[in-house]
Amino acid sequence: MTVNEIALALAANKNALTFAVTVTRDAKTYKTVTDAVVKQSVITGLFTDYADLAPVADAVADGRRDAPELPKHIKQSVMVGGFRFWEGHNGKFYLPVPLADVPTSVVWFLNGETAEYSAVEPLLTAAEKPNRPTAEELADKGQARFCAVSVENVTAIRV
């Protein structure tokens, strides 16, 4: 999808609390892996800015952390159709997604066929394996669950 297509899909119901983003991309595998491993995730996002999430806003208000800043690899934040996107120094666009407290659903594909995680796990680098802090651990640091997905990997938006 393009930035404009994503903004249009999100605008379909701006009054909703959440939206779902389907992200499909090549999985991060070891260099010696010749199989095609694809990860398809459905992420539930919130219609809000990261800085407005309670753990972040409260930590900023009481001085436990500074206001959030753009990551170093991001050139600028841009608004398209009323929604925030990030433009990277690499020219790619990203959709910043504050995450709802809903588990992400993941489907794995191995050489074009659906596969169990156990079948692809030995092929994956550590960066691809689940190891996320809990919402409580993040809140203790004045942070919240969040991800930024590459627009080129977004295959669907559901509001």
Above 80 in pLDDT, residue 14? no
Could you report the per-residue pLDDT of 42-93, keeping only the tens digit for each?
A: 999 999 899 999 999 999 999 999 999 999 999 999 999 889 999 999 999 9
Give the separation between CA 53 and CA 65, rounded to whole angstroms. Answer: 14
pLDDT of residue 136: 87
pLDDT > 90: percent of the chain: 82
Asked if residue 98 lies in contact with residue 145, where contact means CB atoms within 8 angstroms, the answer is yes
Q: What is the rounded distance in angstroms from the CA atom of residue 92 to the CA atom of residue 52?
A: 25
- 3-class secondary structure per residue, the chain: CCHHHHHHHHHCCCCCCEEEEEEEEECCECCCCCCCEEEEEEEEEECCCHHHCHHHHHHHHCCCCCCCCCCCCEEEEEEECCEEEEEECCCCEEEEEEECCCCCEEEEEECCEEECHHHHHHHECHHHCCCCCCHHHHHHCCCCCEEEEEHHHEEEEEC
Rounded mean pLDDT of 130-141?
86
Q: What is the pTM of this model?
A: 0.89
Tokens encoding 31: 């260099």
φ/ψ of 64, rounded to 5, equals -80, -15
Place of tokens 């491993």: 37
> What is the C-alpha separation between 84 and 82, in angstroms, rounded?
7
